[in-house]
Amino acid sequence: MELRGDVYDPNCPTRVIANHATGRWGSLVLGKLLDDDGGAQRFSELRRAVAGISEKMLAQTLQALERDGLVHREVHPVIPPRVEYSLTPLGAHAAKQISELFGWIEENLPNFLAAQEEYDARRAENV
């Protein structure tokens, strides 16, 4: 019998993994690693690419994604040490799904903005 998770079960480990991959920073990091055609990126490159993320949050995010098997961390034995991050095959698959969602959101921005305006106008009428 194959083990399958249930993200709707608060005690299932899939909930934590889903949070790592689809949370605010995890999805952006995965997306940026995919944008670079899955090529390796250094920490500083990722930090610049994911605007607004702190060093601490990027380090925590990369650790979580690495632990979940989505990101590969490679340390090159040079002085100073060079560390690069890339997508694993599992990470590339997840990043493609996230990238498609991001593209859909970007394409539909006018619809979202119109919906927000309409919502705000209704709320203002009821105050």
Establish if 20 belongs to a structural domain. Answer: yes
Establish if 97 belongs to a structural domain. Answer: yes
Tens of pLDDT, residues 44-71: 999 999 999 999 999 999 999 999 999 9
What is the pLDDT, as a whole number, of residue 37? 64
Closest CA to 35 of 108, 101, 96, 89: 96
pTM over 0.75: yes
H-only helix segments in 11-54: 13-22, 24-35, 43-49
Q: Residues 34, 71: contact at Cβ < 8 Å?
A: no
Residues of the chain with pLDDT under 70: 1, 36-38
Establish if 1 belongs to a structural domain. Answer: no
CATH number at residue 115: 1.10.10.10
How many domains, in total, are found in the chain?
Answer: 1
| Structural domain span for residue 59 | 13-125
Closest CA to 81 of 40, 43, 49: 43
Q: Residues 29, 61: contact at Cβ < 8 Å?
A: yes
